[in-house]
A = this chain, B = another copy of it.
Amino acid sequence: MKKVFLIAAAVMATPAWGLTLVSPDGNLRLDVDVDSAGTPVHSLSYKGRTVIAPSHLGLSGREADMTRGFAVTGESRESVDRSWQPVWGEYETVRDHFNELAVTLTRQDVDSPGVMILRYRLFDDGMGFRYEFPRQDAVKYWAITDEHTEFALPGDMTVFTIPGDYDTDEMLFTSVPLSQVRDEFKRKRRRHTESQAIPGLCVQTPMLLKGLDDKPLYVSIHEAALRNYGGMSLLLDDTTMTLTSHITPDRLGVAAYVKLPFHTPWRTVIVSDDARDILASQLIYNLNEPCALAETDWIKPRKFMGVWWEMFLGEGTSWAYSNDWDAQPGVTDFSKVAPSGRHAANTANVKRYIDFAADNGIEGLLVEGWNEGWEDWAAFRKNHHFNFTKPYPDFDIDSLTSYAASRGVKLIMHHETAGNAADYERQLDRAFQYMVDYGYDAVKTGYVGAIIPRSEHHSSQWMVDHAIHVAARAADYRIMVDSHEAVRPTGLCRTYPNWVAQESARGGEFEAMQGNPPEHTCILPFTRLKGGPMDYTPGLFETDMSTYGGRHTHKAGTTIARQLALYLTMPSPLQMACDLPQNYARFMDAFQFIKDVPVDWRDSRYLEAEPGDYITVARLDKQSDDWYVGAITDENARTANIDLSFLPKGRKYRATIYADAADADYQTNPKAYEIRTVDVTSKTLLKQPLARGGGVAIRLQPVDMLAAR
C-alpha cells in the first residue's frame, strides 16, 4: 500500500457527560448523554485519545421516531469476566471480559412516547453497543427505515474499505485517507451488473481505520450478531469525517420489519495502537450468542480440493453438462440431451480428484456443476434455476458416493442458487435430505445474481435471516455450510458453528480473472475476517494464467511460498487446496505443507502486522504440539522478524521452512521457493526475507516428538 498521512486530528474537548464507562484495563472510556434536542450522543477515547468524537444516535421508521426528545431515565451496570470454548477457531479458549452499561432513554413529549435502551460493552480491545426497544404500548410493530448511528472520526484517517453495496462485496480495497475515498471510488469502481450501489458516498464494513498522531491508532468498525435486520454500510461525510449508518432496505425502502421487544445487532469498534491486537481481537465473537446447537461433535474442520478451479481457466471445462439452453432442470430428461463434452463434474474426472485427495490426505472434495440447471442460470429473469436433487447423467452419484467413502474422502455438495433464495428455500429440506442420503456433510452455497424474492437484496433483512435459516436448518441435518455471496459475516458462526466459512469478499477465484494484488490478503484479515472465516481458496501453485490458453494471461499476485503462508494468515476451519491435481504433482515438496497444515488451533500469536503491508502469525495445532508460522508481505519485499519466544522454553523444535527463493518475485519468478530445515528454540529470532508478493510458511515440530515417532 501507499503510505498516507493523517491530515488533521481533531482535538475534542471532553464535555461534561452524564454517564461514563471504562474498559476493564481502563484504556477505553465511553461518555454518553443526550444533547439539547434530546438526541443521544456518545464519544469514545483510547488512552486519552479520541476514537469516536461526539456522535449522535437513534433510529427512525414508520411508526416511531427514536432520534430525539429523550431524557436519561435509568442506567444499569455489570462487569463480566468469563470464557468459552469455540468448536473451532484460532484459540481453544476465548476470554469474554467487559464492563457493561445500559442507558434507558425515555421520550419526554407526551405526543410521541418511546423508550430506548442503549447497551454498551467495553472490552479491553474495543466497544460494542446496540439499541434495544423493550415492549411498550406506544410502539408494537415498527417498520424501521433509517438508523442514524454516527461515527465521528477524529480526523482524516486512512481507511481500508470497499464501496457500499446492497448486493456484493467482491471488490478490491481502497486504502486512502477518508478525504480521498470519493476520488478513489470514481477511479476504481467497475460496474457490477447485478449489484446495487448505494447512492452517495458509502463504504462497507468490516473496515479498518488507521490514524497517525505521534503513534498509530487502529480502529475496526463492523457489527456483530446481525439478524432480523438489514446489513449496515456507512455513509461518509468527507468534510466532517463522519460515518453514518445506512441499513440495506428491501425494495420497499424498509430496513427492518420488527415487533417489539427488539434490539439491533451490535455495532462494534475494535481499537488499539498495535495493529496485531486488531487481528487477535475476538470481540465480535464475544458479542454473539453462545452455541445454539446441542451437539457439535459432528462438525469436522477439514481441508478440501475441488472440481472447480478448472472451470475458471482458459477454454477449459464447464459447469454445464450440455449446450442446450432450453433444457429445464427437474423437467428435461438430461439423459436424452447431447452432452457438450466439456462437463467437469463427470464421474471419471471426479474419481481422479478423489484419488489425488485420498493419496495426499486431503479429506474433502467439492464438486461443482453436478446438478441440473447450469445450461441457463440467468439470475432474476426467470423463476426457477437449479434442481438440488437431480445430478447430471454423467455424475454417477451412487458410484461416486461409495468410491469416495472407500477412499476416505468426503464429497462436498454445491448448491448454487443464482440468487434465487426463494427457489432454494422451496427445495431446502429435500436438498439436505438428499445430501444425508448420500453421505454428504458439507455444502457450499452460492447466490450469484440479483435476489429472488425480488423485494430483497443480498444484505436486506429477509436475506440476512435466510442465511441464518439455511445454517440452522443444515444443523438439523448435521451439515456444515460454506456460504458464498451471502451477507458479510458478523460472528454468527459462534452461535452456529456448522456455518464454517463464508466467501463475502473478493476471493482467490479472482486470480483467474482480474487478479488480486498482494496487498489484498494483507488487508482481508483486518477487515473481512473480523466477521468470521473466509473461504478464500488458497493453494494456488500455477500462478501464470497464460498457461491455460484463455484470454487472461496475467500472473497472480503471489509466489508459491506465499500461498502456503495464507493457510496461517487466512485461518478457516474449511480450507481449500484450490489448484489442479496436475499442478500440485509438479511441486509435491511444497504441497507437503498443505498436507501437513492443520485448520483448527489451540492458540495463535500475531507477531507482526501492518494493514495492507504485512502479517506474521504463529499458531499451535489443536491436536499436537506443533506450531506453524505464516508470514506474508505486500508488493514490497521485506524481512519477516519471526521471534519464536512463544515456544516453550527449553524445548527444541525442528523448523521446516517453505520460503521464497532468493530470486523469487511474484511477477517475474513466483514459483521459486526453497525448503530448508533448521532447529530452533524459544530464543530464536528468524530473520526471513520475503520476496515481493511473497511469504513464508513454517512447520515447527518438537524434536523430542520427532525422535519418538
Which residues of A come within 8 Å of B, CB atoms?
135, 141, 143, 228, 250-252, 257-259, 261, 326, 376, 378, 380-383, 422, 425-426, 428-430, 452-456, 461-462, 465, 469
Contact = CB atoms under 8 A, between A and B. Distances in A.
Contact of A252 (B141, B251, B257, B383): B251
A465 B383 CA distance: 9
Contact of A141 (B257, B258, B382): B382
Shortest 10 CB-CB contacts between residues of A and residues of B: A453-B453, A455-B455, A141-B381, A429-B429, A454-B455, A259-B382, A425-B426, A453-B455, A425-B425, A252-B454
A135 B461 CA distance: 38
A454 B455 CA distance: 6
B257 A383 contact: yes
A382 B259 CA distance: 6
A186 B143 CA distance: 31
Contact of A143 (B326, B376, B381, B462): B381
Nearest to A429: B429
A432 to B, nearest CB: 10
A326 B383 contact: no
A257 B382 contact: yes
A277 B17 CA distance: 83
Contacts of A378: 141, 259
Contact of A453 (B259, B428, B462, B465): B462
Contacts of A376: 259
A44 B426 CA distance: 43
6 contacts: A251-B252, A252-B454, A259-B378, A422-B422, A425-B425, A454-B455
Contact of A250 (B259, B425, B426, B454): B454
A461 B422 CA distance: 13
A259 B426 CA distance: 20
A384 to B, nearest CB: 9
B453 A383 contact: no
Question: Most chain-B CB neighbours within 10 Å: which of A252, A326, A383?
Answer: A383
| Tally of this chain's copies | 2
Given A429-B429, A456-B453, A383 B422 contact: no
Contact of A383 (B135, B228, B383, B430): B228
Given A141-B381, A141-B382, A381-B259, A422 B453 contact: yes
Contacts of A455: 251, 453-456
A250 B430 CA distance: 28
A131 to B, nearest CB: 18
A426 B453 CA distance: 13
Contacts of A425: 422, 425-426
Contacts of A461: 383
Contacts of A465: 383
A655 to B, nearest CB: 52
Contact of A135 (B257, B326, B428): B326
A253 to B, nearest CB: 11
B454 A422 contact: no
A229 to B, nearest CB: 11
A677 B453 CA distance: 60
A451 to B, nearest CB: 10
A602 B462 CA distance: 49
Contacts of A258: 382
A137 to B, nearest CB: 11
A316 to B, nearest CB: 25
Contacts of A454: 250-252, 453, 455, 462
A17 to B, nearest CB: 35
Contacts of A143: 381
A326 B257 CA distance: 16
Nearest to A465: B383
A511 to B, nearest CB: 31
A324 B452 CA distance: 34
A383 B425 CA distance: 15
A115 to B, nearest CB: 16
Contacts of A430: 429
A383 B326 CA distance: 36
A383 to B, nearest CB: 6
A381 B428 CA distance: 25
A299 to B, nearest CB: 23
A467 to B, nearest CB: 13
Contacts of A428: 426
A456 B252 CA distance: 11
